[in-house]
Structure formats: C-alpha cells, structure tokens
Structure 1
Amino acid sequence: MSTTLPAARKPAGTDAAEAAAEAVSAGGARVEFRGPRRAFGTTVALDGLDLTVEPGELLALLGPSGCGKTTALRVLAGFEQPDAGMVFQSYSLFPNLNARENVAFGLRVRKVPAARRRERAAELLDLVGLPEHGDRYPHQMSGGRQQRVALARALALRPRVLLLDEPLSALDAKVRAGLREEIRRLQLSLGITTVFVTHDQEEALSMADRVAVLNAGKPEQCAAPAELYERPATPFVAEFVGTMNRIPGRLTGSGDVEVAGVRLPVDGPAPVPGTSGVRVLVRPENLTVAADPEGGATVVSASFFGAVTRLHLDLADGTRVKADLPSREAAELAPGARARVRPVERPVLVEAGTA
C-alpha cells in the first residue's frame, strides 16, 4: 500500500476558495492496496486485496458485515501519513470542545498560531454549512451537524487522502441523503482522494466514481456504479447490488438459456457442461408483466413507490419473483390476478442449481 506525500502548506491568510483551487490543482494522492492480508486469530479479514484509488477519485468499499472493508480502511490508516484524514462512524468529537475548537484541534497539535487556527476553523465551518455553530458543543448539535464538524476537522490539515468509515449510518434517512450530496460536493471541489466504507448500496452507487464489492476479504468486482449494476461480474455482486430474482431455467445446446418461455444469451461464464437445470438472474425491472387469465403467474402483493410499483408474484412452479412496473400499468394487476411474466431479451447471468 502507498500514498503520495502531503502537499506543501499554503501561507496563512489563504481563504477557503483558494484552498479549494489549490487542492484541485495539486490533485489528491494515489492510494494502492497491494495484497495486504490481515487475520484475527483463525479469521481472515483481508486476503490479498489489490486495488488502486486514482488521485481525486472517490472509491467506495461495499459489502456485508465481516467482508473486510473496515479492516482495509484501518490498515491503510495505520501508516503514519500526516495528510490522511479520518471520519469514523462515532464522529469522535471531543465533548469538552466546541465546534470551532474541534475543527482546529489538529492545527493546535501542529502548533499553528492561534489566529490562523481560528481563521481556518471559520473557513471550514462555513464550507460545511455551519458558520453560526462555532460556539456549540457536540451535545448541542444534531447527529448530522456533528458529522459536518467531524468532516471539517478532517479537512483542516488539507489532507490529500480522506478515509470515511460508514460516517452516515447513524443518521435518519433525510439527513443522510443531504450529507451524501454534501460530502460528494466537497470531495469534488477539493480534489481529495477518498476511500468510503459502507454497507449501504444506495450510498455507494450514488456517491462513488467506482465501487469495490468485497466478499470474504477479497474484491469480487471493482467498477463504475452503472457497470456494477448492469453487468455484475459474479452472482454474489448481482445479489448484493440491487435486487435480483433467481428463476429456474434450462441451458440449451446453443449456449443460450431458456427461462419463462424465452431464450436469452448467457452473460459471462455458464455452469459446467452437462448442467441443464440452472438459476437465471433477472432484475425486477427486466421482467415484463401483463394481465392474462390464462397466465401461469399469480400476483401476491403490490408495493407502491410513487412512479413505480413493485409486484410480488408466484410463478407456476412456485418461485416467488419481484417485478417493477410503472404504477399506471400495475394498477390493473391487483393481488390474486393472473398474469404472464416474461424476461426482457438481454444477456443474463446463470448459476448452477434450481431456485
């Protein structure tokens, strides 16, 4: 693993706009994971992680609990890199210091003059939208504001690498959505290389330039959000990112797979030759549903989400599937209605076994 050395400090008096311009000009640091391994007793948390984070990029480490994402972040942070800032899930604000003093703490440790500390803290509180909260203590602020103070403190030393360990998980949905946008805006404007750990796929897909999905200490796939969603490299990624149906299918002699009466090309490796019964992975938006008294599917329930309604249906073989339809189309498919379900004609992932 490596990071680039910190950039030279700007002279006192530099305002927030100039600092942002400098950061973008200098670019963030390049971060490389080259096969680190970390075990806790017999449990292997990291097993040869190979990833590169380009300067100024936001890379999200995504995966279930125990996959190694937080361990990867802490291994990276364990190097003595004075330009690396960290924001932990608990925020770690000093309860006896107000917001201004918390932001300026690292500058005080570096013996930056008091006047410059106050100036820098004021710049950063303004940058994160808290210019009037400098005199407030952590217990006087909401979780979202505490998070902004923690972010400002991490930015005080003008880091070229910022490490975020599930910083939004303790917040309510509305505050979390707003802070996602705020963190991304700041990261882009300041040009800081950022590694963001989360178990929330929505956070990862909405914020990151690339997402690395980890499983058992290893990356299953690292790609741009759209590619990760549209072309998952493995069934694990397909299942973890977004919602996925597994529908029984049959491999044909031509290398296609037959599912729900439709032949589809197989995307990626197929099960071993000779395997006939397979499970076909199809996302809810890639299923078409039409009312049909002779259809083999039955609508079980419907969940209204505004413009889209998610239908839960039982196929003729008993397989339960989810289908996302425009709400206007789904209105005629009430629970108990018979329907015809077909997959959209596009390449699909398959795995051995029956659903």
Structure 2
Amino acid sequence: MTDAATTTAPTAVPHGVPSASGSAATVELRDLRRTFGTTVALDGLDLSVRPGELLALLGPSGCGKTTALRMLAGFEHPDAGQILVDGEDVTGVPAHRRDAGMVFQSYSLFPHLNALDNVAFGLRMRKVRPEQRRARAAELLELVGLPDKGDRYPHQLSGGQQQRIALARALALRPRVLLLDEPLSALDAKVRLTLREEIRRLQQELGITTLFVTHDQEEALSMADRVAVMRAGRLEQCAAPAELYGRPATAFVAEFVGTMNRLAGRLVDGRTAVEALGRRLPVDGEAPEGPEVDVLIRPEAVRLAADPEGTARVTAAAFLGAVTRLTVQLPDGTDIKADLPGHDAAALAPGARLTVSLPDRAVLVAARAA
C-alpha cells in the first residue's frame, strides 16, 4: 500500500498531529544516475527546487522525468548521486520517512474507504486520535472544494473529484514536498483546466514546494514558476515559462516547447550571422557546424504581406481563437506556420499570394534537418 498512501515521515508534535512548519523546503538533485538494464533513465541530472516554488518536469516519454520524481519520493534509488531536502541527504532514507506527499495519475484511492477515510488514511497509520484525524480530513475536503463528499466512495465520484481526494490525502500530513506525477492526464480537457487552476491556487496558498511531472506543454507553462525540460535523462534547460519560450537555450527546447518553424539558412561572418529569406540576422547562441543550417522561428514572429506577385502562398488556415494559424508554402516547397490576429488573417485566405519576411533580431539556428 506504500504507493497509495502519503509518504511522509513522523513529526514530533503534540497529540500526534503533524505541524504546518517546514512546508517550503529546498530540494536538490545532484548528479543523479540510473539505468535499467541497457536503458539510461537518468544521466547525471542536476536540479534545484526553491522553497515554495512549483517546478514542472517536462519532456518526451522516456526522458527520465518520472524516474526523477520517484527517486525523490523514495520509490526508486539512484545508481549514483545525491538527493537533499533542506540540505539533508535523504538518498538512503526509505520512502515512508521522506516527508513527501505524492499524487498519482491513477488516483490510487482505496475502493473500500469513503472519501473522508481515504484522506485520513495516513493519519490513521500515524496513530492520530480518531476525532483529530476526522477533523483534519474534513478540513482538507473543505480545502479542495468537496466538503459534502466525505461519505462517498471512489466509484461514486467523478475522475476530477477522485483526484481532489487524492490531493487532499497527500496534503493531510503537511509534507515538506508535494510530488505530482501527471495527475491530470486521465481527465477530460475541461476538468483538467479547472483542476490545474485549483492545484496552483492550493500550492500558492499553502506555500509548499512542489514538483509536477507532465508531458503537456500548456499545463507546464501555465502552472509552474519554472519549467525543467529534460531529454534522454539530462536537463536541457530550467527557466521561467516566458524565458523558456522566448529564449530557449537549445534547439531541442525551442522545438519541444511550443511550435517552431525551420527555415533554410546559411552561416556567414564567421558563423556569427545567418542569411535566410533574403535577410542577414545575428545568431543567438552557439552555431552548429555549417555552413548550411536551419533557422528557428516562432509562428508569431513570421511576417506576412499580401502581394499578388509574391512567391509564397497560403495553403491552409486554422482558427485558434485569438489568432489564426496560416500554413504558408515557400518557393522551395517548405511549409511554415504563421500566427496572425483574426482580422489580419482574413485578407490572406488559402490561395493568396504573399511575401514572407523575418524580424530584425537574433535567431536560433540548428543543424540542418535530414
């Protein structure tokens, strides 16, 4: 039953009720390494989480993000490296003494217990008095917006309600660190949106240090104080959402977070500038071996102008609410995406001829795609 319960260590407080102190912990993962047979799950991961922040681990399947989270929880053990919480090395500490609460994608509620007893389960294991654990469970149900669902069993609750119960159970023992393993991926889009806002509100209200694993870019960017993008067991970049999107450190981050166009370019001026679409632009960061490279441009940065004599043409338009995404075919047959406000896009229907240009600023470049 270890995975289903909150993995929080005992705290010496009056009457056995966990205190509220210590919830804003510092977490450090130092040079974590883990292999499973011939598969390298973590390859020297270094990561620090600040007190009280929500940090999202984002990356493709198999990048090591869930392995890192399970190591912090104590469910997996590294082959090498250290895990520190508030400067204390907990690498060898068993899961039930890690002082971490974990919420799983699958909810992991006990089907034979009602919502109140599910929330109070960890307190019961700590021998907290019945009246105190009932009061604490009722307080948590109120906190997650389900004060009238205490007598309901898991099968009587919706997916979103079950996940709220799982969150309340993880918070019942006031852990120093909250770990969320893709907790919203099993929910439908509307419930997912509501619940991610609720989780963020609770996390900020409680000030608890939180690690959130997700493969959903929008989820990570909208919820997290910082996002750590992982690839093949290593950290590519850890930054605030705006910086991650606007100034990605690597080509992988640039293409994994949001939508990115690749345009054919040629390095010049000793690889400090690149020529593309008739413009010479400074290179942002380190350039790969060239001279032929790809220039990485966000759809909103592409500039379009209607031109009956233009050599590019619109091939498709997709309404996305505030913007319309146009697919534009360049003279060499390359398709790129361009985001325009709806009223501007209206004049560029599929079939329209136009000219394409780039903004006058430094750009990321990557090795030419095969």
Alignment match, 1:264 = 281
Name the CA shift for 1:11/1:341 in 2 (closer, same or farther; >3 Å).
Answer: farther
Q: Which amino acid aligns with 1:109?
A: M
Residues 72-81 or 112-121, more deviating: 72-81
Alignment match, 2:240 = 224
The structural deviation recorded for 1:271 is 2.1
Count of aligned residue pairs for this structure pair: 342
* 1:37-48 correspondence runs (5 A): 37-48=33-44
The structural deviation recorded for 1:28 is 1.3
Q: Which amino acid aligns with 1:61?
A: L
Q: Which amino acid aligns with 2:141?
A: L
Q: Does 1:277 align with 2:277?
A: no
Mapped to 2, the partners of 1:300 and 1:74 lie a distance apart of: 46
Mapped to 2, the partners of 1:6 and 1:99 lie a distance apart of: 23
Q: Secondary structure at the match of 1:48?
A: strand
Q: 1:192 aligns with which of 201, 208, 211?
A: 208
Residues 70-79 or 228-237, more deviating: 70-79
Mapped to 2, the partners of 1:154 and 1:47 lie a distance apart of: 29
Q: Secondary structure at the match of 1:271?
A: coil
Q: Which amino acid aligns with 1:316?
A: P
Q: Which amino acid aligns with 1:134?
A: G
Q: Which amino acid aligns with 1:260?
A: L
- Contact 1:289/1:339 (8 A) holds in 2: yes
CA displacement, residues 117-154 of structure 1 (integer Å, 9 cap, x when unaligned): 11001000000000010011111111100000000000
TM-score, with normalisation over the residues of structure 1?
0.92
Residues 191-200 or 250-259, more deviating: 250-259
Q: Secondary structure at the match of 1:328?
A: helix
Q: Does 1:65 align with 2:48?
A: no
Q: 2:327 aligns with which of 312, 325, 328?
A: 312
Q: Which amino acid aligns with 1:331?
A: A
* 1:101-116 correspondence runs (5 A): 101-116=117-132
The structural deviation recorded for 1:13 is 9.1
Q: 2:261 aligns with which of 245, 250, 258?
A: 245
Residues 29-38 or 146-155, more deviating: 29-38
The structural deviation recorded for 1:100 is 0.3
Mapped to 2, the partners of 1:209 and 1:10 lie a distance apart of: 35
Residues 335-344 or 213-222, more deviating: 335-344
- Contact 2:57/2:213 (8 A) holds in 1: yes
The structural deviation recorded for 1:352 is 2.4
Name the CA shift for 1:238/1:48 in 2 (closer, same or farther; >3 Å).
Answer: same
Q: Does 1:344 align with 2:355?
A: no
TM-score, with normalisation over the residues of structure 2?
0.89
Alignment match, 2:112 = 96
Mapped to 2, the partners of 1:210 and 1:252 lie a distance apart of: 35
Mapped to 2, the partners of 1:139 and 1:167 lie a distance apart of: 18
Q: 2:218 aligns with which of 181, 202, 222?
A: 202
The structural deviation recorded for 1:252 is 2.0
Mapped to 2, the partners of 1:10 and 1:329 lie a distance apart of: 65
Q: Does 1:50 align with 2:67?
A: no
Name the CA shift for 1:92/1:27 in 2 (closer, same or farther; >3 Å).
Answer: closer
- Contact 2:10/2:126 (8 A) holds in 1: no
Name the CA shift for 1:267/1:96 in 2 (closer, same or farther; >3 Å).
Answer: same
Alignment match, 2:89 = none
Alignment match, 1:36 = 32
The structural deviation recorded for 1:76 is 1.2
Residues 81-90 or 190-199, more deviating: 81-90
- Contact 1:62/1:213 (8 A) holds in 2: yes
Alignment match, 1:297 = 312
Alignment match, 2:336 = 321
Residues 144-153 or 331-340, more deviating: 331-340
Mapped to 1, the partners of 2:64 and 2:350 lie a distance apart of: 42
- Contact 2:55/2:228 (8 A) holds in 1: yes
Alignment match, 2:156 = 140
Mapped to 1, the partners of 2:172 and 2:361 lie a distance apart of: 49
- Contact 2:16/2:126 (8 A) holds in 1: no
Runs of 4+ with deviation above 3 angstroms: 4-14
Mapped to 2, the partners of 1:354 and 1:84 lie a distance apart of: 43
Alignment match, 2:346 = 331
- Contact 1:180/1:203 (8 A) holds in 2: yes
CA displacement, residues 174-200 of structure 1 (integer Å, 9 cap, x when unaligned): 111111111111111111111110000
Name the CA shift for 1:71/1:354 in 2 (closer, same or farther; >3 Å).
Answer: closer
Name the CA shift for 1:284/1:120 in 2 (closer, same or farther; >3 Å).
Answer: same
Stretches of structure 2 lacking an aligned partner (at least 5 in a row): 1-7, 75-92
Identity of aligned residues (%): 71
